[in-house]
Amino acid sequence: MSAHLCPKCGENTIYFDGICHSCSQRQRRDEILNLSADEVEAMILKIADRIDEIEKWDEICNDFWAIFSLLGIHDPRIARAAAAKEIYYPPELYFSAPDDVKDALVAKLNSLEDNSKNVLNHLLCALAWQGDEQTAELFYELYKNPRPWRKKLHVGTEFYAKIGGWAFDETGERKSLVFDKCLTAVRVKDGKRASQDTNLNPNQNADEPVQIGESTGQKCEFCGCEMLDMLRLKATEPQLAFLNLKHDAIFRCCPTCVGSVRYFCKRGPDGEIELSHDGEGFDESYFSQEDFARLCGMKFKLGGEVSPFYSCFSELDTTVGGYPQWVQDAEYLTCPSCGRTMKHLAQIPFGEMIQGEGVIYVQICDKCEVLGGCFQCT
């Protein structure tokens, strides 16, 4: 079949009958968000009963991801069923699992001598997502006094902790790397919010508490592409009070070089953004004028509060706060000013916006308010 626009959204190009992947995912999302309490309970029981099918990445896996990410459900019955079958992947199965499940994970960990079939790796990821204080103490103990199997792993427990959204320092003090609260940034199309009749004048976006993809007039030192304020959050917005911002949060980057450069943005004494980076960019820009116009022409408004795992469902919406869904390994940046591990601030589905691929992860140092960002794709 020849290329044509998706009949539902009228934006994404497809080569088959039906609707595009993004529209299909939005339909699935709406179905899950509108489930009744009885339907959710039935889905939990089905997942627990058929937990051994979760590794097939089919119905049971899809159902688990849907209720976990969109509804924030992490039911002990699912965790207990997985532990009983010694299924440790995906590790999100064990988020905040009860003590008896944690004890089973630790007992299994203590019985292992190597990383046969990747079980050790999966167990440490599962414990990181379980993440209670006793687990944090265990991870710190394993960091200070590694077991013989540590040599079989590429990284230590200080990295595994970050997979669960937390970290510990040299003294064992624990720090959260995520915000428990999560909001969406809702794209406004044709002068209307996708789900509400909210009119928006072309010049009105400047007053919105969230802005994405704003042109700056500044040129990239590597490829010459125009730099974008990929994210701007207003510190005075009541909905964003949970972020504890002292100043507007601005993350600026080159849309071409963000794939190979980690950018850091610090507010200077005059209020202007001071930009630094880690890595080398490209010699020429691959970001087309069409992509530039498409991204800069988008308007966004803050949506309501959603599950903290909302971004784990699909690369559809920009989220502020909550947990990141890493495409690759967890990549929490180090603040260039104070050396502390930065905290996840926002996830931007860059590929979804430009009909490409990849995600931009924006992070913040809660001490210095330096913003950093990195990019991941499959």
- What pLDDT shows up at residue 136? 98
User: Is the pLDDT reported for residue 265 higher than 90?
Assistant: yes
- What pLDDT shows up at residue 190? 56
pLDDT in tens, 51-60: 999 999 899 9
Pick the closest to residue 48 from 18, 72, 76 (CA basis).
76
What 3-state DSSP class applies to 259?
A: helix
CA gap 77, 83 in Å, rounded: 10
Q: How distant is the alpha carbon of residue 292 from its chain centre?
A: 23
pLDDT in tens, 16-38: 999 999 999 999 999 999 999 99
Q: Spell out the domain ranges in the chain.
A: 35-176, 179-376
> Largest Cα–Cα distance of the chain, in whole Å?
63
User: Is the pLDDT reported for residue 339 higher than 60?
Assistant: yes
Averaged over 224-242, what is the pLDDT? 97
- What pLDDT shows up at residue 356? 86
Name the helix (H) or strand (E) containing 37.
helix 37-49
Residue 166 contacts residue 174 (beta carbons within 8 Å): yes
Residue 255, judged by CB atoms within 10 A of its CB (0-12, 13-18, 19+), counts as buried
- Token pair in block for residue 64: 């688990």
- Token pair in block for residue 277: 């980076």
User: Is the pLDDT reported for residue 202 higher than 70?
Assistant: no
Residue 1 contacts residue 7 (beta carbons within 8 Å): no
pLDDT in tens, 90-101: 999 999 999 999
Pick the closest to residue 86 from 59, 116, 63 (CA basis).
116
pLDDT in tens, 298-331: 999 999 999 999 999 988 899 999 999 999 999 9
User: Is the pLDDT reported for residue 165 higher than 90?
Assistant: yes
φ/ψ of 67, rounded to 5, equals: -75, -30
User: Is the pLDDT reported for residue 251 higher than 80?
Assistant: yes
CA gap 29, 195 in Å, rounded: 14
Question: How many Cα atoms are found within 13 Å in the side-chain-facing hemisphere of 238?
Answer: 1
* CB-based contacts of 75, cutoff 8 Å, min separation 6: 44, 48
Pick the closest to residue 299 from 375, 226, 199, 225 (CA basis).
199
Residue 373 contacts residue 362 (beta carbons within 8 Å): yes
Q: Report the share of the chain in percent with pLDDT over 90.
A: 85
User: Is the pLDDT reported for residue 198 higher than 60?
Assistant: no
User: Is the pLDDT reported for residue 201 higher than 50?
Assistant: no
- What pLDDT shows up at residue 193? 40
- What pLDDT shows up at residue 203? 39
User: Is the pLDDT reported for residue 281 higher than 90?
Assistant: yes
